[in-house]
Structure 1
Amino acid sequence: MQEVYTPKNKVRIVTAAALFDGHDASINIMRRIIQATGCEVIHLGHDKSVEDVVNTAIQEDANAIAMTSYQGGHNEYFKYMYDLLQEKGAGHIRIVGGGGGVILPSEIKELMDYGITRLYSPDDGRELGLQGMINDMVEKADFPTGALELPEGKDVYQSLEDKDITTIARLISLAENREEDFLKAFDFDKVADKSAPVLGITGTGGAGKSSMVDELVRRFLIDFPEKSIALVSVDPSKKKTGGALLGDRIRMNSINNPRVYMRSLATRQSNLALSKYVEEAIQVLKAAKYDLIILETSGIGQSDTEILDHSDASLYIMTPEFGAATQLEKIDMLDFADIVAINKFDKRGALDALRDVKKQYQRNHNLWDVNPDEMPVFGTIASQFNDPGTNQLYKSIIDKVVEKTGADLKSSFQITKEMSEKIFVIPPSRTRYLSEISENNRGYDVRANAQRDVAQKLYGFFKTIETLSGKTPTISQHGIDISGTDNADLVKVLLAEFDKLKMNLDPFNWEVITTWDEKVNKYKNPVYTFKVRDKEIKIQTHSESLSHLQIPKIALPKYEAWGDILRWVLQENVPGEFPFTSGLYPFKREGEDPTRMFAGEGGPERTNRRFHYVSKGMPAKRLSTAFDSVTLYGNDPGHRPDIYGKIGNAGVSICCLDDAKKLYSGFDLSHPATSVSMTINGPAPMLLGFFMNAAIDQNCEKYIKENGLEAEIEAKIKAIYEDKGLERPRYNGDLPEGNDGLGLMLLGVTGDQVLPADVYAEIKKNTLAQVRGTVQADILKEDQAQNTCIFSTEFALRLMGDVQEYFINQNVRNFYSVSISGYHIAEAGANPITQLAFTLANGFTYVEYYLSRGMDINAFGPNLSFFFSNGIDPEYSVIGRVARKIWAKALKNKYGANERAQMLKYHIQTSGRSLHAQEIDFNDIRTTLQALYAIYDNCNSLHTNAYDEAITTPTEESVRRAMAIQLIINKELGLAKNENPIQGSFIIEELTDLVEEAVLQEFDRITERGGVLGAMETMYQRSKIQEESLYYETLKHNGTFPIIGVNTFLSSKGSPTVVPAEVIRATEEEKQFQIHTKENLNKINEQQAESALEDAQQAAVNNQNIFEVLMEATKVCSLGQITSALFEVGGQYRRNM
């Protein structure tokens, strides 16, 4: 056990993950250890800009900033942070950080030479241990704060009136740390205007106070564009260590505004809701002439009345879950609070709670002559964007503050009388949907087993009759028959018993038995014929080995007993038949292996070249696109250093339609052999709009060429740009081999600007029906595991629903509107069962949501796809077959879906977690085994990771090796010529049953927590993933779980972490070109963009289909413009711990 450093001073540290970086697991671990080391931690969460972090550190008078950065751009990020602190006179604040192997040793040295206090590497972690690193960091930050340095020529009171943030922050620290010095520096009696009103907010822990404060601040800033607001938020200190988690800022999106000041205080005493120095902090803020001061206390239960000593008006926040109405009599604040908010008003019993609290308020305040309905008690859902109850609460608060203090805060905020009503994603009556699926699927298994028993007994009769009669009975759809036999009387009795027993067998199952021999023969015949969407397909059923043996593509069991046959058909069956356990289609598509390769780096041109390289010679073009973190978070490239450093790193930079056109140029996006996958979630509807419009404009280009209109169209485009004096967009550099320029003719314009409206409409209609591919767009998984959410969850789900509705209306049948992803759940640490259970649960949640919107399951079912990781745990060998089986049983028997909707299509990517930075050559061995699992289990498409991805962006050489893994299995491996090689294995069947039941049990656990969305509220999924991750890491660290070349079978050098010789990063030219492209777009489309953004906002407000409007907006707007516009009407994502 490492010794814990004890700080000599009260050390305050701001913790966060860098901008456009969702990797928050390590910073969460670090901030816990920092707190346990006795520090006060102001935690901001993930995706934080330098300005946001620096402003926080100055407002909080922090000793240090501790950052993690795993998404590239760290050189620019840390240097910008250092420069900004110097510029703002806060150079004393230490900067520490880490980023695993992402930050190279040479970069660590360069940044520390620049002035960064310390950056920790993986080797530091191994040498010092976690506590050792934190000890080192805290020791570096252990110095007294609060030294006053006033602006030149100004005294303390002038500095406060100017709202000098440093002066305000340091005075509050002085009060906390050196009271005598504070009293010398500041005399409240000398403050001329002490009239700033104070609103005290308190309530029970977990009532959503931070979210409510954020919503009140947001409304205040809109209501009073010229006024300022200050917040003092108090959280409890730990008695044992003296540390504190000051976590209110993580929930707040509105406070990074020059008109807002926030200070977090620790109580620095146990069992009290307030700090001793709250009054001093309020005095300082009154002297700074803030127009409203909010004091929020930690929730410590039923006695929070201390806050009344410091506030002019008070708000008490509670939830409906207070127990019996008599409990209300114990809450002191209900005697004194001016206003009460019952937050989380979507909880069960909320209306009864509202009635009870209003009556208690009436009794406590002796308001017997006033109608209870007029009591200032409001039902609110602070987490819901533009919640009507929160609007009413805000207006009531401001009016009460004015009434009690005479403050100059005349509100013009518009409110409606409607009550807070949860906009339910899943109707409350449907919250048991996962357990209903468990019951349905278990019921199917019970029936299947019962039918198997009946069939087995019937077979017993059949064989007995055959033996007694000396003849084989004839089998027909009506039963069995036999004539002219020995033992005729006994046979007659047996036939009667047979017929009686057969009445217990489902007619469908009798047909299975009677047609079994015919089915077996179909696969023995040289050619098998079947239909896909009315198209007849003929397939050779065997391949010939080098030894001249005929190897069957589908091998069937040799069962004779009817019960065995029936059980196999009901639970396994051949590929292409329900329950699709062994595959979705009778045979694999010939000439198109399931290979799908991932690319994304630099600008669109560089990734376009990579796409042409990886698809060279491939009959099918399956393009998977990785986007840079700027794009993943819905932003535009820009010059600001914390954005600039991330442009085109770890993914491709795409911010507008022209980028999409260049990215996919030279690939016919409407060709049936072209399929595009886009790994994007938060801003998925916008990227989908760019892609669809790029595909439409490609077909406009074909039309122009076919009709010899090139010269005419060129003249039109030239005129558009010459009129505005702007340069036309272009492809940066030479076209790669294989790129014929398709898609580049209409750069800078769209087809509807240069072609007649009717021609364009027909091309658009046909294109939408032809394009093939997938957009990830799985927002539930983002909240649970990956953190690239940008909009509030409800709004993000609404956008997903709008995309699916548009797909149905426009007959988009070959493009998946969502890729329901387990991959990122697994990468975050979940084991294979949890990955599968959470992913399927998310899938069924989308089904329920789309059904609640009135969509037909047979219309949207085929647009859903799935995405799993493949590790080397035993359960991964059956992950696909179990997924197909559970989905098919539920969709057919519970939802009544047709066969196409019953088919669960999924993509596999080999595990990123199993790529280790030690002995990286061994990674290809693991990847090969995982690819074998995937191919044997009939995945629909497969991406094999490159061995060097653990340390860098893959090179052309490593990508070629990764592709070779699939090619060798598909082309060379003899057993892979058979398409159901794992069927019939005892262990595979046993694993299938075990995993299926484990998944159904997890469904029941999620149901107990209110379904997927209810479980997300309590962070059930996140916690479970973190627990499983910790379990794996512990076993890996202590060697209990052997990993070759990592913790056992080490090389003679000890298998050190490999440092890449070079790291592929976006060039300065690429970054500048991307910024220029975006700026040029904004200039050429300035007026059209403004109108398109207004249309998108109106569609959101009026409950119209937003994606339909985004299809137009994506023609003229950049990604960041659309994201910002939708934030105003849909709400921003609110982070969790």
Structure 2
Amino acid sequence: MEQQQPYIPKNKVRIVTAASLFDGHDAAINIMRRIIQSTGCEVIHLGHDRSVEEVVNTAIQEDANAIAMTSYQGGHNEYFKYMYDLLQEKGAGHIKIFGGGGGVILPSEIEELHAYGITKIYSPDDGRELGLQGMINDLVQKSDFPVGDHLNGEVNQLKDKNPFAIARVISAAENFPENAKEVLDAIHAENKTKNIPVLGITGTGGAGKSSLVDELVRRFLIDFPEKTIGLISVDPSKRKTGGALLGDRIRMNAINNSRVYMRSLATRQSNLALSKYVQEAIEVLKAANYDLIILETSGIGQSDTEILDHSDASLYVMTPEFGAATQLEKIDMLDFADLVALNKFDKRGALDAIRDVKKQYQRNHNLWDKNPDEMPVFGTIASQFNDPGMNSLYKAIMDKIVEKTNADLNSTFEITKEMSEKVFVIPPNRTRYLSEISENNRNYDATAVTQVEVAQKLYGIFKTIESVTGSLPVITKSGIEIENKTKADEQFVKMLLAEFDRVKMNLDPYNWEVITTWDEKVNKYKNPIYSFKVRDKEIKIQTHTESLSHTQIPKVALPKYQAWGDILRWCLQENVPGEFPFTSGLYPFKREGEDPTRMFAGEGGPERTNRRFHYVSLGMPAKRLSTAFDSVTLYGNDPDLRPDIYGKIGNAGVSICCLDDAKKLYSGFDLSHAATSVSMTINGPAPMLLGFFMNAAIDQNCEKYIKENGLEAEVEKKKKELYDDKGLTRPRYNGALPEGNDGLGLMLLGLTGDQVLPADVYAKIKAETLAQVRGTVQADILKEDQAQNTCIFSTEFALRLMGDVQEYFIQKNVRNFYSVSISGYHIAEAGANPITQLAFTLANGFTYVEYYLSRGMDINAFGPNLSFFFSNGIDPEYAVIGRVARRIWAKALKNKYGANERAQMLKYHIQTSGRSLHAQEIDFNDIRTTLQALYAIYDNCNSLHTNAYDEAITTPTEESVRRAMAIQLIINKELGLAKNENPIQGSFIIEELTDLVEEAVLTEFDRITERGGVLGAMETMYQRSKIQEESLYYETLKHTGEFPIIGVNTFLSSKGSPTVIPAEVIRATEEEKQFQISTLENLHKAKETQVKSQIEKIQAAAIQNENIFEQLMEAAKVCSLGQITSALFEVGGQYRRNM
């Protein structure tokens, strides 16, 4: 394919790029913004999860030519139309709108959006026809028009702080300086009488200036509720293309405020940290009467002090990693800066570094009469919410500004005197934990090899004695004996017995027991009945099944080894299911009467998803419900009429915003029954959804008690008091109950059990329910940061919430519910290969182990609450992903952490690969899914979800879901070999693959250790970069055809196997969306008096370092999801996006 040449723009084109609201799919927009930048444009990149208002305000403040968006999460019609309307409303209709969303945006919808006024929505066909560069050329060409060439009264609007006017005058100065000279001279003359301070912030690249500026702005807005602030941020232009990445906004959360204006400038010249028009931009902001102006430069070298010419006070930002102390003598800014921030103060050597910087500052400023500790040098961790070092720095900056300019900015901000101290998730002395695990597991393997050699020698001696004496020696607990005393007295036999005893001294007693009990073990599996215990309950299982040909098929087949070395090797590295190291499975036999099938649903409101759950589980002995939530819920928000939210309500998942929604969602399923389990795919707001779920389960049992004791009149009385008497609508299930739904869980809609029952009765029911309820909440925040982007809180705070949930589970004896599903699935879906998926997932799991241990939790108490979730593709490594995971986990937990057997067991769910579902020849997808399901079942997964073949193009239909479930049922019920529960054990290739993948994972652990452990690697975006590299490798091979995919790049149909367009797409109805919003409004009115105190209790728990989840369980009874999220933002901080 001929390489396309980039279009060369005639004007300086500025484009805002982002992914839409509640949409974490940022890979595509990252690729696009790179190509836009290399085509010579200045790109203001906002990253994922951006509201229409944020994007439009940015485009206006930045005076952009165009906005380029991706939208892969539905709601695109409302999103793009709202963007168009808002631009028109704000007088910025000239800004072009471009978008794309793969196959998510249908051709008919593209036509509709074009007709509405959207400049261009690119389809997959456009991509194939034009190529990536061709699409970007088209976008840039359509956006290539001059900005700021004519001023039309904008100067008169500056004093009103009109963002469009401010932006246009800055553009005129930047793009047409000669035309704007007269206007700018007049502005400059008028500004001479004003006292508006400018704070200059400069520093090395990568010092965290953007995060630090954001934290300063946040504190300024709290400190001065009436004052305004203007930001000018400068980034370098590329010498080769003229393009620039203006990326500071992506790191900033506080600037989306009407009292803040921000303008990003490109240097438009090489080797300089400032634009030549920066002074003009400052003058424009002064003309607009901002109370404080911050000027931030791009990363500078040691000799750059240009910022001093434009600022009244200056801050130099650096990190502890400056090298030898002599390097400080070369940094010119240390001669002139008023203050210095040593950011990233959690880095090793920070205390030594700050001592050296303070001494250098003292020398440079001749402050010999003062103590070095009094120097204005501050250790800060801008990435940490409410960092005390940042508080001290902010107060010192404001005091310095007032001292130097006499501006009316006297700060009343309260600070703590403690030095900035990192809240460590993993203590610094534990950062090698992954390599310690690698060493531990390799030591186990090395020991196993030497023990096998000893066992093999012993067996050789044993067989020699047999040959010499003519009979088998008797094996005892302590060794061997010869029954024929005459033979035993012979000198040669005595010598052999002595040698046997000598060699045996090198054999671990446990391993001798393994050898001596082998025949007994084999016989147990040959017997017709095998009995074992699970939590003190004896289970009896038939060991064989009979085929139609009357063949007795063993459920577990054992090797026919005779030699002790072979037996020992097999037992130490493989073993039977249910025995350490659990390579072949966790339990001796699979649970009978419960296939590992998960019933997956999530669409529209809770009622529609409830109906789907009842449909897919009808007649099934076990109800294993797996819940997908809409993107509004995934990001912790409430439904709303605002178009960019409204369009996403109930699309691609179920809308859940309160306790009543959870009650309706799972109504008719007994959540405390041993055959019911619920999985919730939710991460950022997982604690809130868990609170809703647990309360729904508790209230179900309260409902049973009410019925058993004839207390229905009490419920009726309470509902009348709370709803009827106040003129409010009683909460209700919308529509008829489906077949199988007996209404359990609906009696207490709008109420909770504690409002009806005596306190002691409620407490007893609550305790019993928490001990019984079965299920999983995903809640894996590390994976979200690395791969999927549904983080909402700062990482440290999100991990604290996870720890609080686990602590609560231990205290309340929640033994059957997993507090986290440590997920590789989304890592694989983002593009990782199977080894990387497994390594990153296990590394995340061990990070949680280390974090929980650091909080003082007992590994045997929390270990059983951890579960895992993997994807299954068709790559060879997927055949062993479960057995490798179980083996690595068991070896580490037993030998490194000293955990008991239950904690050693790695339990995991498998979902077949969504990435392998193709929109061409969609019928072939079921073939791939069948092979993946076979891998999973043969590898003894604990539960399995098979994707529907049409998920590549639409929400699955009832027909496609039924087919997907049939795949599992046919394997489990019909496939003869699947009657055996360890069918892949003993295969040479499986054993070889297991060893290869295990070593590859341990090697990856070492690579992560080199980067400071999982959290250290995340700071440098190691995981994300590796995932993207592997994704690109796969896509390249797929594109060239080197990696054959049937019906996609080879074996095409006579029509060329075109992309299938769905006849219809299942989306939430208007009625469902409106019902959700009315439910929410009704809740807010009914619980209005209780919400404030519950919010205060949650925030107090967070501030006072108490268990937040304990309070959240109470808040979930009265607050909506969005209310709790907003409250926690105030005390825990929002997630800060990465480039």
Shorter-chain TM-score range: over 0.9
Q: Secondary structure at the match of 1:409?
A: coil
1:531 equivalenced with 2:529 (yes/no) = no
Question: What letter is aligned with 1:702?
Answer: K
- 3-state SS of paired residue (1:869): strand
Check 1:300–1:117 CA distance in 2 against 1; reply closer, same or farther (3 A cut).
same
Letter aligned with residue 202 of structure 2: T
**2:11–2:144 contact (8 Å) kept in structure 1:** yes
**Partner SS for 2:356:** helix
Q: Hey, what does 1:796 align to over in structure 2? A: 798
Partner of 2:557: 555
SS at match of 1:1115: coil
Residue deviations 1:292-325 (CA, integer Å, cap 9, x gap): 0000000122133100000000000000000011
CA distance in 2, matches of 1:1004, 1:190: 62
Letter of the aligned partner of 2:123 in structure 1? Answer: S
Shift of 1:710: 1.2
- Counterpart in 2 of 1:428? 428
Q: How do 1:436-835 and structure 2 match up within 5 A?
A: 436-482=436-482, 483-486=484-487, 488-835=490-837
| Counterpart-to-counterpart distance in 2, 1:920 and 1:875 | 25
Q: What's the counterpart of residue 1032 of structure 1?
A: 1034
Q: Note the 1:922-941 alignment, pairs <5 A.
A: 922-941=924-943
Q: State the partner residue of 1:174.
A: 172
Deviation at 1:370, TM superposition (A): 1.1
- State the partner residue of 1:210: 210
Q: Distance in 2 between matches of 1:438 and 1:156?
A: 65
Contact 1:469 1:485 in 2 (8 A): no
- Structure 1 gaps of 5+ residues are none
1:978 aligns with 2:980: yes
SS at match of 2:533: strand
Q: Does 1:201 align with 2:201?
A: yes
- Aligned partner of 2:181: which letter? L
Which amino acid in the other structure matches residue 166 of structure 2? I
SS at match of 2:300: coil
Q: Mind listing any 5+ residue stretches in structure 2 that lack a counterpart?
A: none
**Structure 1 CA distance for aligned equivalents of residues 1081 and 1067 of structure 2:** 23
CA distance in 2, matches of 1:189, 1:843: 59
Native 8 Å contact 2:459 2:565 kept in 1: yes
Contact 1:471 / 1:485 at 8 angstroms: preserved in 2?
A: no
Instruction: Please tell me whether the aligned partners of residues 154 and 169 of structure 2 are also in contact (alpha carbons under 8 angstroms).
Output: no
Cα deviation digits, residues 761-792 of structure 1 (max 9, x gap):
00000000000000000000000000000000
Question: What residue is the counterpart of 2:877 in the other structure?
Answer: 875
CA distance in 2, matches of 1:182, 1:1123: 47
Asked if 2 retains the 8 angstrom alpha-carbon contact of 1:633 and 1:790, the reply is yes
How much does 1:196 deviate?
A: 1.0
Corresponding position: 1:838 with 2:837:
no
Partners of 1:216 and 1:56 lie apart in 2 by 20
* Partner Cα distance (2:13, 2:718) in 1: 65
* 1:601-652, Cα deviation, whole Å (9 max, x unpaired): 0000000000000101110000000000000000000000000000000000
Contact 1:237 1:266 in 2 (8 A): yes
Equivalent of 1:184 in 176, 179, 182? 182
1:1119 aligns with 2:1109: no
**Does the Cα contact within 8 Å between 1:579 and 1:885 map onto a contact in 2?**
yes
After superposition, the C-alpha distances for 1:805-829 in whole angstroms (9 at most, x for unaligned) are: 0000000000000000000000000
The equivalent residue for 1:247 is 247
Give the corresponding residue for 2:91.
89
* Correspondence 1:1022-1101 to 2 at 5 A: 1022-1101=1024-1103
Cα 1:476–1:41 change in 2 (3 A) is same
CA contact (8 A) 2:822 2:867 kept: yes
- Please say if 1:145 is aligned against 2:147: yes
Question: 1:486: Cα distance to partner?
Answer: 4.3
Q: Which amino acid aligns with 2:485?
A: G
Between the aligned partners of 1:964 and 1:304, the Cα distance in structure 2 is 68
Which deviations, in whole Å up to 9, do the C-alpha atoms of 1:129-175 show, x marking residues without a partner?
A: 0000000000000000125565xxxx555411110111100000000
Q: Which residue of structure 2 aligns with residue 360 of structure 1?
A: 360
Question: 1:718 deviation in Å?
Answer: 1.7
| 1:402 counterpart letter in structure 2 | V
CA distance in 2, matches of 1:300, 1:313: 18
Q: CA deviation at 1:225?
A: 0.2
Partner Cα distance (1:95, 1:966) in 2:
46
Deviation at 1:181?
1.8
Partner of 1:624, secondary structure, is strand
Q: Which amino acid aligns with 1:657?
A: L
Provide Cα deviations, 1:96-153, integer angstroms capped at 9, x if missing partner. 0100000000000000010000000001000000000000000000000125565xxx
Amino acid at match of 2:1006: D
**Corresponding residue for residue 121 of structure 2:** 119
Would you say the 8 A contact 1:626–1:652 is kept in 2?
yes
1:915 pairs, out of 914, 917, 929, with 917
Whether the aligned pair in 1 keeps the contact of 2:599 and 2:625 (CA below 8 Å) is yes
- State the Cα deviation string for residues 824-848 of structure 1 (Å, max 9, x = none): 0000000000000000000000000
Indicate the SS of the match to 1:1116. coil
Q: How does 1:898-913 map to 2 (within 5 A)?
A: 898-913=900-915
What amino acid maps onto 2:361 in structure 1? Answer: Y
Secondary structure of the equivalent of 1:625?
strand
SS in structure 1 at match of 2:1049: coil
- Which amino acid in the other structure matches residue 110 of structure 1? E
The amino acid of 1:653's aligned partner reads S
Deviation at 1:190, TM superposition (A): 4.5
Q: Which residue of 2 aligns with 1:257?
A: 257
AA in 2 matched with 1:184? E
1:1047-1095 Cα distance to aligned partner (Å, 9 max, x none): 0000000000000000000000000000111111111111211110110
Task: Write the distance in 1 (CA, Å) between the matches of 2:247 and 2:188.
Answer: 33
Counterpart contact for 2:42–2:246, Cα < 8 Å: yes
**AA matched with 1:504:** N
After TM superposition, give the deviation of residue 714 of structure 1 in Å.
1.4
Once the two structures are TM-superposed, the CA of residue 410 in structure 1 deviates from its matched residue by: 0.9
Contact 1:799 1:1106 (8 Å CA) reproduced:
yes
Separation in structure 2 between the aligned mates of residue 170 and residue 636 of structure 1, nearest angstrom = 36
- Residue by residue over 1:166-197, the C-alpha shift from the partner in whole angstroms, topping out at 9 and shown as x without a partner, is 11000000001101221233422442543210
Give the secondary structure class of the aligned counterpart of 2:1075: helix
Q: Are the counterparts in 2 of residues 823 and 909 from structure 1 also a CA contact under 8 Å?
A: yes
Aligned length: 1133
CA deviations 1:6-62 (Å, max 9, x no partner) are 000000000000000000000000000000000000000000000000000000000
SS in 2 for 1:320: coil
Q: SS of the counterpart of 2:1066?
A: coil
Aligned letter for 2:190?
V
Checking the alignment, whether the CA contact within 8 Å between 1:603 and 1:654 is kept in structure 2 is: yes
1:713-736 C-alpha deviation (Å, 9 max, x unpaired): 212222221232211100000000
Q: What's the CA shift string for 1:831-887, capped at 9, x where partnerless? A: 000000000000000000000000000000000000000000000000000000000
Q: Secondary structure in 1 aligned to 2:1116?
A: helix
Q: C-alpha separation between the residues in 2 aligned to 1:469 and 1:157? A: 111
Q: Measure, in 2, the Cα distance between the counterparts of 1:666 and 1:148.
A: 67
Q: Is the 8 A contact 1:23 1:70 kept in 2?
A: yes
2:7 is paired with a residue of what secondary structure? Answer: coil
- The equivalent of 2:337 in structure 1 is 337
Q: Which residue of 2 aligns with 1:107?
A: 109
Q: CA RMSD in A?
A: 0.8
- How far the C-alpha of 1:211 sits from its partner, in A, is 0.1
Pick the aligned partner of 2:952 from 935, 950, 953: 950
